[in-house]
């Protein structure tokens, strides 16, 4: 029996479901929660894994696997989300359906993946303070630092805020149907060029267009990094990126005098 899941098997199962998340009217105006979002979150996870190595607090194989699996599975619940529901817990329900019916095998880290996913939403019902600090895993000598994993994954997810999250061609097609709140949210994403995890500078750098006065797109990331519980966890485990800074870039001016 495999103690850790094959991440390719997990990804292959997820990509069957992810295209259907945005196929219903009520989801039209959501920013991307499909495959490209999962890939971006996974890239952020890989950057975080590297930073943990550089910081002298490397993640063990079970911890890495938990974060990678969560990257693919954390938003699957949006396929059955209803207004007012907790999409994080809906994702856990989807995972259980997939596992029960033989479509998904998370091995010995099933419960831990569920915990990371259940706490990734700011509006989720399961709170980080209710999560165990350390948790033993069957078949492994080392425990997993579950609270740390939940905090790191929230950061990885929150940092997918650049313009690729809300493609301008899609916006231009749907603009006449979008409610005003959705329009402003999509345009805010368009002002974010790139998010960089900078170990040398010990910060997350948000590259944005100069002249963009509306920085509300950073509100959720700001709340995550300044959450007392998350801040305490990151400091305790010596994860160096506990803050962010904005670096502005000028638009190219080609206007004629």
> For residue 116, is pLDDT > 90?
yes
Highest mean pLDDT among 78-92, 115-129, 188-202: 188-202
How far is 175 from 12, CA to CA, in rounded Å?
Answer: 33
Reported as a single tens digit per residue, the pLDDT across 120-141 is 987 766 678 889 999 999 989 9
Its pTM stands at 0.92
Reported as a single tens digit per residue, the pLDDT across 209-253 is 887 656 678 888 899 999 999 999 999 999 999 999 999 998 776
Fold category of 7-158 in CATH: Hypothetical protein af1432 (1.10.3210)
Contact status, residue 35 vs residue 18, Cβ threshold 8 Å: yes
- Give the model's pLDDT for residue 1: 45
Q: Where are the domains of the chain?
A: 7-158, 163-249
Q: Which two tokens stand for residue 5?
A: 């899941």
Token pair 């997990």 is found at 10
Could you tell me what percentage of the chain is helix, strand and coil, using 3-state DSSP and rounding each to the nearest 5?
A: 55, 10, 40
- Give the model's pLDDT for residue 181: 79
Contact status, residue 181 vs residue 207, Cβ threshold 8 Å: no
Reported as a single tens digit per residue, the pLDDT across 34-58 is 899 999 999 999 999 999 999 999 9
């Amino acid at each position: 029996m495999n103690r850790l899941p094959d991440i390719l098997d997990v990804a292959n199962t997820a990509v069957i479901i992810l295209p259907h998340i945005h196929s219903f009217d009520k989801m039209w105006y959501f920013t991307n929660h499909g495959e490209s979002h999962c890939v971006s979150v996974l890239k952020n996870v890989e950057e975080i894994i590297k930073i943990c190595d550089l910081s002298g607090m490397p993640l063990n194989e079970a911890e890495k696997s938990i974060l990678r699996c969560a990257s693919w599975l954390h938003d699957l619940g949006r396929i059955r989300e209803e207004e007012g529901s907790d999409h994080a817990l809906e994702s856990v329900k989807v995972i259980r359906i997939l596992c029960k019916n033989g479509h998904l095998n998370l091995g010995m880290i099933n419960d831990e993946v569920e915990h990371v996913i259940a706490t990734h939403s700011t509006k989720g019902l399961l709170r980080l303070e209710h999560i165990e600090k350390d948790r033993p895993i069957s078949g492994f000598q080392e425990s997993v630092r579950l609270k740390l994993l939940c905090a790191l994954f929230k950061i990885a997810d929150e940092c997918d805020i650049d313009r690729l999250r809300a493609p301008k061609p899609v916006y231009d097609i749907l603009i006449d149907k979008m409610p005003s709140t959705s329009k402003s949210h999509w345009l805010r994403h368009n002002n974010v060029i790139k998010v960089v995890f900078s170990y040398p500078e010990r910060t997350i750098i948000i590259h944005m267009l100069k002249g963009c006065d509306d920085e509300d797109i950073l509100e959720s990331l700001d709340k995550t990094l300044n959450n007392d519980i998350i801040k305490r966890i990151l400091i305790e485990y010596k994860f160096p990126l506990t803050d962010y800074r904005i670096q502005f870039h000028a638009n190219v001016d080609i206007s004629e005098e």
